[in-house]
Amino acid sequence: MTEVLALRKQFLNPAIFLYYKHPLMLVEGAMQYVWDETGRRYLDGLGGIVTVSVGHCHPHVVAAANKQNETLQHSTTIYLHPNVALYAEKLASKLPGDLKMCYFVNSGSEANDLALLMARAATGNYDAIALRNGYHGGNASGMGMTAHSVWKYNVPHSFGVHHALAPYPFRGPFGYDDPDAGKKYAADVKDIIDTATPGKVAAFIAESFQGVGGVVEYPQGYLKNVYEYVRAAGGVCIADEVQTGFGRLGSHYWGFETQGVIPDIVTMAKGIGNGCPLAAVVTTPKIAQALLGKVHFNTFGGNPVVSAIGKAVLELIDKENLQANCVKLGSAMLAGLNNLKEKHKIIGDVRGRGLMIGIELVKDSTTKAPASAECAQVVEYARDLGLLLGKGGLWGQTIRFAPPMCITQADVDFALAVLDEAFGAL
Ligand SMILES: Cc1ncc(COP(=O)(O)O)c(C=O)c1O
């Protein structure tokens, strides 16, 4: 451990950060659990940052990867391979409407970069609208669409991108008690189109729930209204499903479905590959036509091994009823957290759906001053008790719980008991 830390300090990108005061080294995983180098087990309440969907080293995923690794590890789209074709067919079958054309890449940042290119090529417009408090990646265009200062370097990366008001009922101007909040937040997008663009836009992009921003679900009607404004201005609508897709929200397979809309372009990463470098953009045949003017190529995108893994993940979500498990255990977790909210004044808001849950901490329920230090303390304390959690929100004030979708009631009971103790120790 000491040697690994020293090597990391000497040879790895110094801008990365470690979560805990005493760094945690994970060396093994099985389903919802991970183990450190001393053999201590933890419940992975963050799922490798919302990435391990069906379970660490799930035997079906491992078998699919191993079989393909032994047959042919690499091939690209200049040749035919059955895996990528069969996988694309299966992935497309999970999407509604005309969303049938799949592009495979390696990360969420790349997927969003491609989606923006596609939108600009398809519409002939340049301006894009994203949301404040949103996260879309760390490459130049992902950073441009992201709206948290902590991730944005001082380079001109946001040209043509406008950031609308975050539809964030707990902190924004229109709260949970406002039945028209969705419409009111959407009006800001219309205002941006009218005042900050030529009246025509290429795209609107939003996470279906904000993840890094602290698990923010938009008020009902928000995306419906926004999509109408954007389409009327010639734009296409992009749903970033990097964290919300593949059944995690329980009530729906895709996050955008919770708002009753169908996007024109969907981007996916993280849970799609259960921890392997697989990401995708899915769009309509009509929009796909726009990229035909040039060759589009991605060396690793849809390679035979990751395609086998992606297909195994889709099979498992269905076969093991993981979406239903997210409903059942997400509801149990939310109910337990709402009880804790009554007991611990620091909990300002409990929110989320399925197994994508946020607990926003405030120093004072009236001012809502973010309780960032306390959030870090709870996350540290929970780790000592064997539970790994995440931090989100602009000030790191929101605890995130997004475990692999295969957790059990016993895991929920354990997580709630740990949180109760951790809040009690503040
Ligand atoms: C919603 C969302 N979009 C895009 C990304 C970028 O994905 P990646 O880190 O794979 O580039 C992330 C990563 O956290 C994300 O949460």
Could you read off the pLDDT of 403-416 as tens digits, one per residue? 999 999 999 999 99
How far does residue 86's CA lie from ligand 1's centre (Å)? 25
241 lines ligand 1 (CB under 6 A): no
Mean pLDDT over 7-23 rounds to: 93
Residue 118 to residues 122, 139, 181, 192, 270: CA-CA distances in angstroms? 6, 17, 31, 21, 21
Which ligand 1 atom lies nearest to the CA of residue 138?
A: 11
Please state the atom number of ligand 1 nearest to the C-alpha of residue 110.
11
Query: Ligand 1 in contact with 108 (CB < 6 A)?
Result: yes
Q: What is the reported pLDDT for 158?
A: 84
Residue 49, Ramachandran bin (φ over 0: left; ψ between -120 and 50: alpha; else beta): left
Closest of 269, 270, 268, 422 to residue 359, by C-alpha: 422
Under 8 Å between Cβ of 45 and 387: yes
The whole-angstrom separation of Cα 42 and Cα 383 is 8
| Nearest in space to 291 (alpha carbons), one of 300, 301, 281 | 281
* Cβ partners under 8 Å of residue 99, min gap 6: 92, 262, 263, 266, 282, 283, 284
Q: Which two tokens stand for residue 71?
A: 């047959």
337-368: per-residue pLDDT in tens? 999 999 999 999 999 999 999 999 999 999 99
- How far apart CA 131 and CA 127 sit, in angstroms, is 14
User: In this model, does residue 237 exceed pLDDT 90?
Assistant: yes
- Cβ 273 under 6 angstroms from ligand 1: no
pLDDT score recorded for residue 235? 98
Residue nearest atom 3 in ligand 1 by C-alpha distance: 136
Q: Exposed (0-12), middle (13-18) or buried (19+): which is 400, by Cβ within 10 Å? A: buried
Q: What is the pTM of this model?
A: 0.98
What is the atom index within ligand 1 of the atom nearest the CA of 279?
A: 10
pLDDT averaged over every residue in the chain:
97
Tokens 């009631």 label which residue? 409
Nearest CA to ligand 1 atom 8: 108
- Interval between CA 269 and ligand 1 midpoint (Å): 7
Quote the pLDDT of residue 307. Answer: 98
108 exposure class (CB count in 10 Å sphere: 0-12, 13-18, 19+): buried
Pocket test for ligand 1, best of 110, 148, 238, 242 (most atoms within 8 A of CB): 242
pLDDT recorded at residue 133:
98
Residue 188 Cβ inside 6 Å of ligand 1? The answer reads: no
Rounded CA-CA distance 53/46 in Å is 10
Instruction: Tell me how far the alpha carbon of residue 18 lies from the centroid of ligand 1, in angstroms.
Output: 18
The packing angle between helices 409-424 and 322-343, to 10°, is 20
Residues 6+ apart with CB under 8 A from 62: none
Cα of 217 vs centre of ligand 1, distance in Å, is 17
Question: What is the Å distance from ligand 1's center to 135 Cα?
Answer: 7
pLDDT at 156: 85
How many angstroms is it from 147 CA to the middle of ligand 1? Answer: 13
Tell me the C-alpha distance between 5 and 276, whole Å. Answer: 24
On the 0-12 / 13-18 / 19+ scale of CB atoms within 10 A, 377 is: middle
Mean pLDDT of 176-193: 98
Residue 425 Cα to ligand 1 midpoint, Å, equals 33
* pLDDT tens per residue across span 147-160: 999 999 998 878 99
392 lines ligand 1 (CB under 6 A): no
Q: How many residues does the chain have?
A: 426
CA 73 to chain centre: 28
Q: How much is the average pLDDT of 137-147?
A: 96
pLDDT of residue 220: 98
Which among 36, 50, 43, 29 has a CA at the least distance from the CA of 391?
A: 50
Distance from residue 54's CA to the centre of ligand 1 (Å): 18
Q: How confident is the model at residue 293 (pLDDT cuts 50, 70, 90)?
A: confident
* Ligand 1 centroid to residue 358 C-alpha, Å: 17
| pLDDT of res. 157 | 79
Distance CA 111, CA 91 (A): 15
Q: How many percent of the chain have pLDDT more than 90?
A: 97
